[in-house]
Structure 1
Amino acid sequence: MVPAVKASFAVGSEDTPSMPLTRNLFFALAPDPSLRGVLAAQAQRLHDAWGGRMTAPAKLHMTVLFLDALPAPIETTLIDAACAAGATIAQREFDLVVDRAGRFERRVGWLGCSQVPPALKTLHESLVDACFATGAPVRRENHYTPHVTALRDPTHPEPHAIDPLQWRVRHFELMASAEGAYEVLGTWPLQPA
């Protein structure tokens, strides 16, 4: 098994008064630079039609599993448990197609898949099981809707098909976010197909 590549985890210091009270911890798919540019262009088209605030291109990702909003700073043991869960995954690379745009009730304009690939469902379910086994902070979700958050607070969204964007998934990441800043805590490659 290839070990995770860990990044540092610091947004300010523990002594900083502006330190966020919570941080979100989640597993995600990060697009390669070329796909990130295509997703950003599609997000711009949605913004032109729907308004709202665009997600910065560097922050575009597809969440695979949201672990939890945790008190900051996140305890090292929780990060280690999540990394241990990620390291147990033995799955092949897969393709997904981003071909839909829509809106969630919580005012998020998204890009997603009309057909969720079985391999993405398997990755999600495997991470849930692995997190429970390692003690990572996870909650079972009733419904998993893979999506890329493209906009916040769109004004007049109409769900519709978009030109299909091909996404070859070669790895997944453990990420943390706080006050709009994202940080990669670990990366695990998928096995070549």
Structure 2
Amino acid sequence: MRLFAGVVPPGGVVAELAREVERLRDLPGAENLRWTGRAGWHFTLAFYGEVPDELVPELERRLHRAAHRHPPFDLRLSGGGRFARAVVWVGADGEPEAMRRLADSAEAGARRAGVSMAEHRRYTPHLTVARARRPHQSLRPYADALAGFESSPWTVDELLLIRSYLPKGGVEKEQPRYEAVGRWKLGT
């Protein structure tokens, strides 16, 4: 199954972000972006890809241990940016270093469980809100418009193991679907 470890903002914060994204969708050229849906807004801590069923129990045990080693931490959505000409994202503020450490533990736990991980890159907390449909579209106006955005703070108190279901194709505006298959409280 296709899995990743993640953090999901609470409903009130998602509603705040939805209002900001609606504002972005009024910018010129917004119709040329593929906007992610509210149900899919999350911070990916570690992407595992296709994980063989026989490795999932050990991965769950490792994530359970990782969650217990990290205390809850405060976070809020803040500002935004872009990755090249491909992705528009919202950043994190508060205790992003705590989230980086949790991401490192989620990745290390997967390696120990036998999950084949791609090469390690320094974790950059981001929540994707849009993807470019065309390779030469400038995303700078959207990143600039997010510069002053800041959500209400919340306490991140759980680590999730999330299964993703990719769109089957052929259905316009179809979004990936996500299902939490494991949840562990931080620091307990």
TM-score (norm 2): 0.77
Query: How far apart, in 2, do the equivalents of 1:35 and 1:97 lie?
Result: 8
Closer, same or farther in 2 for the Cα pair 1:41/1:162, shift >3 Å?
A: same
Indicate if the aligned counterparts of 1:54 and 1:151 stay in contact, CA closer than 8 A: yes
2:16 pairs, out of 35, 38, 42, with: 38
Residue 77 of structure 1 corresponds to 54
Percent of aligned positions that are identical: 28
Shift of 1:63: 0.6
Residue 183 of structure 2 corresponds to 187
Closer, same or farther in 2 for the Cα pair 1:115/1:167, shift >3 Å?
A: closer
Q: Which structure 2 residues correspond to residues 37-76 of structure 1 after superposition, within 5 A? A: 37-49=15-27, 51=30, 52-68=33-49, 70=50, 74-76=51-53
Query: How far apart, in 1, do the equivalents of 2:94 and 2:86 lie?
Result: 23
Query: How far apart, in 1, do the equivalents of 2:85 and 2:116 lie?
Result: 23
2:105 paired with 1:126: yes
Look up the equivalent residue of 2:177 and give its one-letter code: A
After the TM superposition, which segments of 4 or more aligned residues of structure 1 sit over 4 Å from their partners?
Answer: none
5+ residue gaps, structure 1, are 1-22
Query: How far apart, in 2, do the equivalents of 1:184 and 1:87 lie?
Result: 14
Closer, same or farther in 2 for the Cα pair 1:80/1:34, shift >3 Å?
A: same
Kindly provide the CA deviation profile for residues 95-122 of structure 1, in whole angstroms up to 9, marking residues without a partner as x: 1232121221361111113676221111
1:174 pairs, out of 118, 139, 161, with: 161
Query: How far apart, in 2, do the equivalents of 1:64 and 1:108 lie?
Result: 17
Look up the equivalent residue of 1:162 and give its one-letter code: G
- RMSD of the alignment, in Å? 2.2
Query: How far apart, in 2, do the equivalents of 1:121 and 1:53 lie?
Result: 27
Residue 98 of structure 1 corresponds to 77
Q: Which moved more, 1:35-44 or 1:85-94?
A: 35-44
- Matched residue pairs, number? 166
1:164 pairs, out of 150, 153, 157, with: 150
Higher share in helix: 2
